[in-house]
Structures are given as C-alpha cells and as structure tokens.
A and B are shown apart, each in its own frame.
Chain A
C-alpha cells in the first residue's frame, strides 16, 4: 500500500472515530436531558417518597398526605383532662359522616374518613382522637352510625352505581403485651345490592330501612335487621327519588327529594298500611319531624326564597323568621338537660295537666342566600353558604342566634342525646366540627334585623 493511501486510510479512521465519539457524546447528553425531565416529573408525582406510615398518633390521611400539601398542622390531640373549645374543628380531613355513639367509656364522636373509610373516635371532652379500624374502603361518600357504633358506608362502583355497606366495627382483642397501647379493629359486614337510593337507621336499635329501585314497581322500601334478616316491605312507589328518616319513636318518614318551586310530599310508612301523609303539596319541601311529637319543622323554596315553618298536628303552620331549610336543623331531644316542659294545649284537668317539652330546634342559617334557585344549586355544590347557629322555639316562633360561624357551610348536623353538642360537616371542604351548646336557657329574643336575608 502506498504512503498516500495509508495516510488517507489513517485519516479516515481518525475522522470516523472522532465522529463516532462525538455522536455518542451527543446522544448521551440528549438522553440525559430527557431522563432528567422524566425524573422531575416522576418526583413531582411522588416517586421516591417514603411509604407513609399509618401508625402515627392519628395515622390518618391528613397527617400523611394533606399536611405535606397544605403545610398546615394537623389537629393535635388534646392532653388528657384538657377541655376542647366551644367550637372545635375536630378534623381538617374530609369526613364522610359522623355521629354520637355510646360506648363503654362513654359518649364518643365517631366519624369516617372519606379517603379510606377508616373509623375514628373523638373524645368530645378531652379532644383525644383515636383510630378504630384499619379496613381500607376508599372513597366513601356517605357514612352513618347506630347509637352503639354499627356503621353504614356508601360509595360508587366503577359502573357509577351507589354501593351500600352495612357493617359492624370489630375491635381487635387486647394484646397480651401490657405495654401495648391500642390495637386497630376492622369493619365486617356485607354490601346491599346496587340500586339503593336512600337509607335510614333506627336510632334505637340495629335496624335499617332502605329504598331501592325495582324494575317493575319503581321503588320498594324495606326494613331489615342489621344482619339482613327479618326483612319487611313497608313501602312501594312508582317514584324512586325519596329521602328517608327514622325517628326514635319508631316512625319512618319518606319525603320526596326537594327542588325549588316543585311540590313535595312526605309520608309516614309502616308495614301493612298505606302511606299516611305528613305534609302535602309544598314547594321545595324539606322536613324535620320531631320524635314522640306531632311537631314538624319544614322548609319551603319557592319564587327564589326560602322559608321555614313549624307545625303541630292539624294546627295552622307557624312561620319562623329565619331563611333556612330543614336539612340544616336538628331537634333538641326531650331527654336533653336543657329541655323545658310546657303545658299542653287543651288540657282539661287542672290537677294533672299533660306536660310536653318545648319543641326547640337548632338551625344553621345562611347569612345570605343570593338569588335564583337555592336548593337546586346548593345540592349540586354550585353555591355555598356562610352559616350561623340559631336556636328556635317552635312553639312560639322566638329565635336567638347562638353562635356565629366563620364561613362554614353546615351539612349533616347531628345532636347528642343530652342536647349539649352538635356535630356537623363543612360542605366547603368536608371537615368535621363540634359545637358545644349552652346549657342555660337563653333569654328569649325575636329575630328581626339579625335574620338572614336574600
């Protein structure tokens, strides 16, 4: 091979080598930049984060997830013996449902975490919150408790159908290790068939009532023991859109779902008899019947305005000076410490007059309502209200503001048997609140300028 050819050949090899190295380097840097982008994206989605522990002092979703987003401190358990404030923000975590439960240790506030379905217990005196269960049931939309702690949880299946779980909380047996603190229990139960549109729980014992769609009849209402036995059909209707309430006196009330300006009807249902009307042909009807009483609190929505009434038996309704609706109200139980007796009307015997308790209700009243169809928009989450708590004497219509809330849109209120506390959720974020009610009978004042207006 001549020198020229050899030189050319060597030059070509060098060029090829340099080109190859340059190309490889370029490819390397190109891939590296893309990898960095992907890694940044993955980190943003949580790659590399340590697996959250659910065995913290609260062990809930807020502590492990939300606190890293908001940077806010989770609600701290109060020291033993410490008192909670009159208005206690129990948890910032979205809650599916809450109620007062009687336990061996006394009354507790049970609530269900929406994200996990885990059940928590809050000591309303010390502020201590404990997790009771470890059964993961994600995305719980509704939850309710019996007075002894059995549970209903509702969610949505992949087909978009509502599911209904009826169960009990099984606490784990105590650990033989004396140094162990608490052990978590589990939820045990079963699912009802899909198609349950509404349900109600017997406040006295473990029974439930539900209405489900029926292809032939429209809807049927069935009462059942907690284990599913003893089922009885109480109700049948061509219509499917009902809400149900079970009162402590045993009455089950079904009421058409409300819509502004649309007439609604409410009936009492029982086995073997036709539905007995409670209220009829009332626009935008929402209703709160009182147990062991003929008194009813009900709201109307018509012409862009809400109105609240109380009615006892066949008497004419009494218009109340507050613009709210029955969903935001609870009755003071007759067994409450602050319940006061009043003489019943029509008493004939002066020696032994019949005594009934003054019907007192507590209602969250929006400070302003805005314009337009309130109920339709509120139910759809298109509007939120900022409420204050009011006390209403349903017998004479006097009212008094009890407690101003700061931007809370009250939903699902519940009152304890003593009538000393109300729990409710904030519809803005699903968080749970507890309000301690004043024990002393407040001075009667009639709401005038303090009442909410459109």
Chain B
C-alpha cells in the first residue's frame, strides 16, 4: 500500500467523522438539558370552549417526541393534577364563569423536557329563537317557523371577567352560520341577534354561532337545530258578547246554540302578520257550495242556516298568494240549534263543545 493511499484513507475517515460530529451536535444542542416551550407539542381540548363545570378532556400530542417514554406532569399552578409515564390524556373540570385557569403540561425525559400551557376560560352562550309566523292575540304558546316565515335568533353570551363583570354584548364579535355557511352580513361586533329564513318544507336548519372578545381571551360556540313547524287552520266562534272564543277551537263535529253565528278562521304559523286578507286567500264553502262572506275581513264568515238543528258543513281552503307551500284545508260540521225557543233544555252550558 503506498503512502498516498494510506493518506487518502485517513483523510476520508476524518471527513466522515467530522460530518457525523456536525450532524450530532445540532441534535444535542436542541435537546440538551434546557426546559423549553416548543411548538413540537400541542394540546387539544374537548370541548374547545368549555362551559362552567363541564368536564374537559385534554390531550398532548407531538410528531417529534416519543411522549410514551416521557414522564408527563399536568398541573394547575403548584397543584399537580396527574402525572405518569406517557400520560398524554387528562380530564379536568372547568371552573365557574369568571375564572381563567392555566394548565401546564411538562414532558420530561432523562435528557430533555418540554413544557406547554393551555388557558381555560369557561364561557356560556344561550341561543334563543322564535318565529314571526302568525299566532292570535293572547296566544300563550310560541310561534313556530314554517317555510316563508323567519327565525329570529338571539344569543345571550356570558363572558365573565375575573373581576366578576360581564363583557357586554356590544363588545363581542358574533359569527353566525346557517347550515355551515358563514353569514357575513349578519355577523360582526355586537350583532347578538339575527334573522334567518325558516326551514324549507319538512326541513331543518342548523344555526351555529361563534362569539369571541377582541383580545381572544373569551370565546364560545353554540349550535341549534330548528325544524319546520306544521301550520294549520283552526275555527273559532266570534261571539257577539264574549269576542273570539280562542279557548274553544271547533272540533270536527260541534253543536252550538243560536242560529246566526260568526266564525273566525285562524291560520296558525302562516307567514303573515295580519290574517284578515291578502296575501291570504280564503275560499269558504257551506255544505259544499261556495260561500262568500259579507264581512270585509276574509277570515270571518257568518253562517245562518235556513233550518234550525240542521247540520251544516263549513269548509275552508286557505292559500297564500306568494307562498305556494302554504295550503291549508279545514272542514267542520256544525249544528246550530236555532233560537232560544228551540234550544234544548238539557243543555247546561252553551259553550260546551259536543
């Protein structure tokens, strides 16, 4: 072997050793004996924006570190929540509104450690809704949405600062989504209520909201599903003394005292504010024949049978000029007993439905 070949071999070996040393050095420098917060780990929360008192599941993950071999400690301040080898999951109960809790995760091995913190600020958001569909005066129930009407939604956020004060709604940014689509026109700072179209026939709308303060400390979400209601037409007696008897909707077969009686049709959950006329169209029938009421209000009709104690069939077809989905039909058999001389003496109450 010549002196030259020996020298080349030595040089080559030295070069390889040098390259290996250089490659190792950065790794040793990165994972030395220093504690670091690093983007090599992240912590997920489920739910992401917990409510007060809600159980929160935290999980730490890393694409670079083998956390299963590391001693992981979860703590809140000085208090250790849990610790163990490879303990990547922990459950934590969110505190009350107004608390701001920082959880610390430390993953340590013999030669390195990494620390990550996550902030938990519980929030609450109430999501309320109603519809602008029609219900009569003094109706104690809620109007339900139907195709053509609208859903009015109000968010009532409870973002509480550590001093106990509430963040006012006009300082909160609201982002509204309808069926997953962000509604930019409805969203913005202080926009705590919004109006959406009602679901389509037999459909369901999903309305979701994300709210946050400008500093990003308080955040919350809420979601609700709203199904379409079922409109119907109900018939009531409009009594000359007592007004409309809204407590006593006529059934399919009803006996009433008196002869001439005025009836009022109420189209529940229809997309009108005034049911007395257009765009609603009322087609009345009496005993199968078209009947044109004398009243100016189209939803009222006065029936005067020619013969007392005669069973009269009142029919009604109701449509909406601008909403083809609204088509209601009703039929009621009414027996008007006639005047007082022909009233049955057995009747103890003229307002009982029979």
Contact = CB atoms under 8 A, between A and B. Distances in A.
A274 B139 CA distance: 27
Nearest to A382: B249
Nearest to A377: B249
Nearest to B308: A44
Contact of A275 (B156, B247, B349): B156
Contacts of A138: 241, 243
A241 B130 contact: yes
B143 interface: yes
B69 interface: no
B125 to A, nearest CB: 10
A69 B257 CA distance: 8
Interface string A425-445: 001111100000000000000
B54 interface: no
B292 interface: no
B272 to A, nearest CB: 11
B30 interface: no
A259 interface: yes
Interface residues of B, number: 51
Interface string B134-151: 000111111110000000
B260 interface: yes
B142 A259 contact: yes
Contact of A257 (B141, B153, B192): B141
B319 interface: no
B187 to A, nearest CB: 15
Contact of A94 (B158, B242, B338, B339): B242
A375 interface: yes
B141 A156 contact: no
Given A257-B142, A380-B268, A429 B137 contact: no
Q: How many interface residues does chain A have, given as a range?
A: 35 or more
B176 interface: no
Given A44-B259, A238-B154, A239-B152, A115 B241 contact: yes
Given A162-B138, A238-B193, A274-B166, 8 more contacts: A115-B242, A141-B246, A160-B137, A238-B192, A265-B126, A380-B268, A381-B248, A411-B247
A-B CB proximity, top 9 nearest: A238-B193, A139-B243, A379-B141, A115-B241, A259-B142, A257-B142, A381-B249, A429-B351, A44-B339
Interface of A: 44-45, 61, 65-66, 68-72, 92, 94, 114-115, 138-139, 141-142, 154-156, 160-162, 218, 237-241, 243, 256-259, 262-265, 274-275, 277, 280-281, 327, 375-376, 379-382, 384, 411, 427-431
Interface of B: 126, 128-130, 137-144, 152-154, 156, 158, 166, 192-193, 224, 234, 236, 241-249, 257-260, 268, 274, 276, 338-340, 343, 345, 347-353
